[in-house]
Amino acid sequence: MTPPEESSSPAGPVQARLRDADAPKISSIGTRALLLEAPGEFELRQQKRIWSLADEVAAWPDVEEAVLGVTNLLLVFARPPRDLEATRVAFAAAWNRAPEKSVSGRIHDVPVVYGGELGSDLARVCEYSGLQPEEVIAIHSAGLYTVCAIGSSPGFGYLHGLDQRIFMPRKTVPSLRMLKGTVTIGGMQAGISVSTGPNGWNAIGWSGVEMFDLSRTPPCMLAPGDQIRFVIDRIEL
């Protein structure tokens, strides 16, 4: 028996859309770079495939750098690819076969002063979540967070592992001067600011741990695959 053609089946277009939803988005960034964005939500399994993909494509001829992002990868070439479409196809194919990479990173305990002047958005998180400050702090400090990528500024780690109950959208109007060491929530991500300046994430506390120090080797405390535990130093309400 010959199976029916997909185009003649009512389910065909739906199946095609499902396949499209599983495909990565690949965009040109200038003439010497391609950006691959993984499909789906911000999930650790997708990030693990990005880590694996980076290992493969970094070894391709004429690749200058493979830059890890949060469920995305920027591939920078030494010169513009001669056949851009073939390079796109190869990049997508590499993603499709990329396994999840297991990384045994270090675990860092980061003491936090929750609330107070340097955790000025804790009240907003409570209002949005409907939880009391003590509950938000207990949930945040109970998590184990994985460093997905380093970016934005030297030493800043994008952290996966935030509990959905304390999800908090980023600010529509950024804080103009958020202090270095501020412990933050941005959507479903957590972070620790590494420099003082404008910041659109929500401040819930502060830590004195140095994320980036040029006198250290390496200067960046965190690496992709590392994990962070936030430890309550004290609470100021």
Distance from C-alpha of 47 to C-alpha of 43, rounded to nearest angstrom: 7
How much of the chain, in percent, has pLDDT values that exceed 90? 85
**pTM for this entry:** 0.85
Say whether pLDDT at 190 is over 80. yes
Of the listed ranges 65-69, 91-95, 119-123, 149-153, the one predicted with least confidence: 149-153
Average pLDDT over residues 137-156: 95
Average pLDDT over residues 26-49: 94
Task: Encode pLDDT of 39-69 as tens digits.
Answer: 988 899 999 999 999 999 999 999 999 999 9
Instruction: Give the pLDDT confidence score for residue 9 in this predicted structure.
Output: 38
User: What confidence category does residue 211 fall into, taking pLDDT thresholds of 50, 70 and 90?
Assistant: very high
Instruction: Give the pLDDT confidence score for residue 41 in this predicted structure.
Output: 85
Instruction: Give the pLDDT confidence score for residue 20 in this predicted structure.
Output: 56
Indicate the length of the chain as a whole number: 237
Q: Which position has the token pair 């430890």?
A: 231
SS3 label, residue 54: helix
Distances (CA, A) of 218 to 6, 211, 222: 54, 11, 9
Average pLDDT, the chain: 90
Average pLDDT over residues 96-106: 92
What residue type is 64 in one-letter code? Answer: E
Instruction: Give the pLDDT confidence score for residue 104 in this predicted structure.
Output: 84
What residue type is 209 in one-letter code? Answer: V
Instruction: Give the pLDDT confidence score for residue 66 in this predicted structure.
Output: 97
Token representation of residue 170: 């980023």
User: What confidence category does residue 21 fall into, taking pLDDT thresholds of 50, 70 and 90?
Assistant: low
53, 98 in Cβ contact below 8 A? yes
List the domains of the chain with CATH numbers.
Answer: 6-97 (3.30.1360.40), 107-236 (2.40.100.10)
Strand partners, 70: none
User: What confidence category does residue 3 fall into, taking pLDDT thresholds of 50, 70 and 90?
Assistant: very low
Say whether pLDDT at 4 is over 50. no
Of the listed ranges 20-24, 161-165, 225-229, the one predicted with least confidence: 20-24
Instruction: Give the pLDDT confidence score for residue 15 in this predicted structure.
Output: 40
Instruction: Give the pLDDT confidence score for residue 69 in this predicted structure.
Output: 94
Say whether pLDDT at 102 is over 90. no
Distance from C-alpha of 72 to C-alpha of 46, rounded to nearest angstrom: 9
∠ at Cα 79 (75, 80), nearest 5°? 75
Average pLDDT over residues 76-88: 96
Token representation of residue 157: 């780690």
Say whether pLDDT at 179 is over 90. yes
